[in-house]
Structure formats: structure tokens, C-alpha cells
Amino acid sequence: MAFIPDDTLLGLLAFRPQHGYQLLEIFRDPAELGCVWKLSVSQLYAVLKRLSAQGYITGEEMASANAPARVVYTIAPIGRERLYSWLHEPQPSASIRSVRVEFLSRLYIARLLNLPTIEIIRRQKLACRQERAARIHQRDTAPLGVSHLSLDLQVGQLDAILNWIDRCEMIPHDGEDL
């Protein structure tokens, strides 16, 4: 299963306890996770509820002087465990969508927490190379037609990823300016 929103939210809460609306703004801001993928209002609160029910986070209602009541969530120890095993996933998916969404989310969270990203990138690169080899083999045995075209496109997309992925190491950490 993927559950990218769940793991990403755990990462954001590992950075610091936050309430739903605060998290939402990170997904709305095109300079933050908003550029990677959109999380709808209802899904965000649904995921928080699920994580809470599963014991990965704990919520505490807090009254505020200048705003309606809010629920501040804090990551629990088993949430932290789950987060680290997600970040250090040994065999990340190499589907095009996963690279754009899950891998970039991992990078975002790792940077936020000031963790090293080299291993994350290395494993993703390896997975993409393996995927590319598999697709090339399929393409070269596929009959001409749409299936051949589709595999050809996928190889091209993986090549684009492999050309791009090394640039991911060269961006500074920015966990402090949130």
C-alpha cells in the first residue's frame, strides 16, 4: 500500500506539533508541498483521524483567544518508527507517479528534519534503473502497436528521471524557515 499522505503528515508532525489547518496550508502553498501534490480538506482531516485512531499521533483540543478551537496533533513514538521506515524504504516504487509524488515527499520531509538525503536518492536511482531495464525488455518483445508505444514512452520517462535525479542532491536544506 502507498499511503503517501499518511507518511508525509507524520513527517510534518515530526518537525513540530501542528493542527489541521496549519498542515493544510503547506499543501496549498505552491512553494511547499503544494507543488508536489494536492491534499483536499476532507482527505487531510480524514487522514489525521485515521492516524490518530491507529495510535501514530495524538490530538489535543486547544482553545485559542483569537480563533475557533483547534486540535493540535503530536507524533507518537510508533509514529516516528513508521516515519523512519518509510523514509528509509529499501525498495522504493519506480513508477513515474511515485517518483514525482512519493520520492519528492520523502526528500521534502528529510530536508525538513535535517536528515541526509544521499541514501534516499541512491535507492531511488537504483530502483529506476531496474525499472528501465525491465521496461526495455518488455518493449523489445512487445508487438508493434499501442503497447509498444506505451513502453517506449515509459522508457523515455525513466530516462528523464535518471537525468534529473542527480540534481536532487544539490539543493540546500531548509528545515528552519517554516
Contact residues toward DNA (CB under 7 A) are 3, 5, 19-22, 24, 38, 40-43, 45-47, 49-50, 64-71
- Dihedral sign for Cα atoms in the order 11, 17, 20, 22: negative
CA–CA distance from 65 to each of 59, 60, 69, 71 (Å)? Answer: 19, 16, 9, 14
Q: What angle do CA 87, 89, 90 make, to 5 degrees?
A: 140
21 binds, among a second copy, DNA, none (CB under 5 to 8 A by kind): DNA
Residues 20-59, one symbol each (x = binds a second copy by CB under 8 A, - = not), give ----------xxxxxxx-----------------------
Q: What angle do CA 57, 78, 3 make, to 5 degrees?
A: 70
Q: Which member of 96, 115, 126, 136 binds a second copy (CB under 8 A)?
A: 96
When the beta carbons of 27 and 103 are compared against DNA, the nearer one is: 27
- Return the closest-CA partner of residue 112 out of 34, 44, 173, 43: 173
C-alpha to C-alpha distance for 47 and 93, rounded to whole angstroms: 22
Q: Which member of 60, 160, 166, 178 binds a second copy (CB under 8 A)?
A: 160
Of 39-47, 55-63, 65-73, 157-165, the segment contacting a second copy by CB under 8 A is 157-165
Pairing of strands 67-75, 18-19: antiparallel
Enter the C-alpha cell of residue 142: 512487445
When the beta carbons of 67 and 171 are compared against DNA, the nearer one is: 67
C-alpha to C-alpha distance for 67 and 98, rounded to whole angstroms: 37
45 binds, among DNA, a second copy, none (CB under 5 to 8 A by kind): DNA
Residue 6 CB, shortest distance to DNA, in Å, is 8
For a second copy, the binding residues (CB under 8 A) are 30-36, 96-97, 99-100, 104, 107-108, 111, 138, 142-154, 156-157, 159-161, 163-164, 167-168, 171-172, 174
